[in-house]
Amino acid sequence: MDHDGATAARRRRERRPFAGEFVRHPIRAGAVTETATDCVGGFLDEVRLADARTVVELGAGSGAITTKLSTRLPASSRLLAVEVSPALTDRLRTRCPEVDVACASAFDLPDLVRERGLPPVDLVVCSVPWTVMGEQRDRFLGAVRATLSDGGAFSTLLVAHRARQDGVAASWVGRHFAEVRAGRVLWGNLPPLRGLHADAG
């Protein structure tokens, strides 16, 4: 098999566990496949990685963001990845053995950080099914804000049309954070996605 063929085969293998999860838990999974590689790269280009020391990823899935995030963070930083699905957590631990992976709900983030004795968290990266979270969104964002240090950063990935600067998702996030900025549309995924980035003032 040539190099391109081998890469395509590896990507298909990597996407399989996520498709199985979608069949079993479609609402919780929130997508049929993991986020496309190009899209993850474009999203992380917009995230404040350079000065991040203690980082949490919520809804890490099968590791599409985790794999890239862990290589792009400063070497001295710590990364905790939180994923609620046991099957995806297993996959994530195999794919990213260097990352601390918690099989838990993102709603328990303050406890997870406390139990591990982590220093103040200065970056939360997130990709969870916002649209099905309903009234729970405020509780979720409250847990994130309570965990982030002042001056910390929050970045989340959303379906592009829901993540406009003046859109409804920006208003949920804006209730908890000082400033919300929409990133560029990331066309490499189906559906196209976009980052929303906010600062904990």
Ligand X SMILES: C[S@@+](CC[C@H](N)C(=O)[O-])C[C@H]1O[C@@H](n2cnc3c(N)ncnc32)[C@H](O)[C@@H]1O
Binding site for ligand X (CB under 6 A): 28-31, 34-35, 58-61, 64-65, 82-85, 88, 105-107, 127-129
Three-state SS string over the chain comes to: CCHHHHHHHHHHHHHHHHHHHHHHCHHHHCCCCCCCHHHHHHHHHCCCCCCCCEEEEECCCCCHHHHHHHHHCCCCCEEEEEECCHHHHHHHHHHCCCCEEEECCHHHHHHHHHHHCCCCEEEEEECCCHHHCCCHHHHHHHHHHHHEEEEEEEEEEEEHHHCCCCCHHHHHHHCCCCEEEEEEEECCCCCCEEEEEEECC
- Shortest CB 193 distance to ligand X, Å: 9
| Cβ proximity to ligand X, 71 vs 178, nearer residue | 71
Tell the smallest beta-carbon distance from residue 140 to ligand X (Å).
7
29 versus 196: smaller Cβ distance to ligand X: 29
Least distance in Å: CB of 62 to ligand X?
A: 6
Residue among 9 and 132 whose Cβ is closer to ligand X: 132
Minimal distance, residue 182 CB to ligand X, in Å: 18
Residue nearest to ligand X (CB): 61
Q: Whose Cβ is closer to ligand X: residue 56's or residue 170's?
A: 56
Q: Which residue's CB is nearer to ligand X, number 99 or number 106?
A: 106
- Tell the smallest beta-carbon distance from residue 47 to ligand X (Å): 13
